[in-house]
Amino acid sequence: MPKDLSPDLVVADADPVWTSRGTALTDGLYELLAPLALHVEHIGSTAVPGMAAKPVFDIQISVRDLQEAQDAFAGPLADHGFDLAPYRQDHVPAGSDDDPAHWTKRLWIRRGHPESDVNLHVRAAGSPNERLALLFRDWLRAHPEAVPAYARFKQVLAGAVPDLATYADVKDPVVDLVVAVAEPWARATGWQPSATMTVRPASHRA
């Protein structure tokens, strides 16, 4: 999972308003960035009901070409308070021999904005990191019994480490464990990323 650039490490209790705020963010970003933005999804812990989380919204935008999207999105996103971050590589799950080049992305950060703090992950459509973000979210949504344990882990970890970089480094292997369980679930249920993505008005599509 990506490293947050915020200087504060606070994992807050779940807030029911996160769902509606996430929807407003994805709708607004789709309106702003379509048709290059093929899909815009609320991901991460704030997208899972009942999950404790840093009060920062993770949003994923799927695009055909990362460099094309970077060039086209730079101006509109800057106008809405987003800064392009240097991070261009997602964590590759432990045990995977996949080429790290398949796990690249672009990341924009917004902090201290009147609306919401956001990590905006732009990933290639059909890439493994696009898929993993959706699978992780959907497995937790489908298994609410796992949410309290994962939430508690994050709260304890946040109180035990000195900074967000360490927090992310420790959390990544635990995410890998969740994914190891989620993959058999995906096969058994026929889960596919396309089935979970929000359907948008056809007038905005390429």
Lowest model confidence (mean pLDDT) among 47-56, 113-122, 131-140, 159-168: 159-168
Q: Are 59 and 40 in contact (CB under 8 A)?
A: yes
pLDDT in the model for residue 1: 40
Mean pLDDT of 178-192: 96
pLDDT digits (tens, 9 = 90+) for 16-61: 999 999 999 999 999 999 999 999 999 999 999 999 999 999 999 9
pLDDT tens for residues 124-139? Answer: 999 999 999 999 999 9
